[in-house]
Structure 1
Amino acid sequence: MARTEISVIDYAVRQEELGVSFYTKAAEKFRGTELAGLFMKLAKEEAKHLRDLMDVQAEALRKGVEECFRDVEVDDYLDAVIREGLMPGGDRAEERLDQVKTVEDACRIAMQAEKNAILLYTELAKRSKDKGQKRILEAMIREEKAHMAKIAGMRADLDPIYAAERFGKLC
């Protein structure tokens, strides 16, 4: 059976659940650091995204997916984004966190997840016919971009090599 936009939203809901769990556990793992506070804030924001996605999902089910999205079948690009997963390692994200030894590693995983979320939500927003859903998705894209910038800034503060790569000089 081909994937449809509603199955993509189901997938996104599951990924946001994993994101909340990842950030909560990462905050616990790095308790007492500045990063723990950032991760707790991100966990709360991802929980809001989860609620927003569940609203989008409910509306699509109520109206019918064809009324909410163009091209209800998933194309190769969107399928590739889905297969990559929002959280690197998919359902194994928490297991990967157990193996994370440094703040830099945690930031790297988080940044990849945020980047993948931006790709997915951008594609869903482009396909959305429902203006309310499109606004929700566009707001989520802006928030995911802000998350990525916050994580990158924190990583630059903690990792001189990353800072040099990002800013072109050692800070």
Structure 2
Amino acid sequence: MNLQKNISFIVFAIFFIILSIGLFTDTKKIQSPLINKKLPEIVLPDLKSQNMISHNFLPKETFLLNVWASWCQACIVEHEKIKNLSNKGIKIVGVNYKDQREDAIGWLSIYGNPYLFSYSDKEGRLGLELGVYGVPETFIIGEDGIIKDKIVGPITDEIINKRIDPLFRKNND
């Protein structure tokens, strides 16, 4: 009887520890295995024209690859920051993720379009290759096509100051 209580207690304790680790892990700090790897080759339709766009159309300088959707509430919160970064001259390419084309185009007409262009990733293929598990997510891509950083969740002033601005300053020096 005591042995059974001890085993039950140990199982409960292990479960509690695993649950605690999961609850207190900051998903925004999870390092992507793609950091310091080449951005996967992209061939997807342009959101507006529906013409196929390859990775050859990506900027040849450091840029942001922002994964967004019209159904994403956090994307609305983030969008003003994205527009401000674009207004500062930072190149931004959008990836419209698992969305309806008409909804996405309407969303951009309401909230503004800071993107050089947006890929339409309706089936989530590119998102899968990039390890996207929610929107918004933003990748900082170096001029060499290497993924320098991955930002999970909405971009904030703190993220801009600590993670985005330093990489763009370094590349403009």
Shorter-normalised TM range: under 0.3
Which one scores higher on RCO, CA 8 angstroms, separation ≥ 6? 2
| Structure with more strand by fraction | 2
- TM-score, normalised to structure 1, is 0.23
Which of these two proteins has the greater Rg computed from alpha carbons?
2
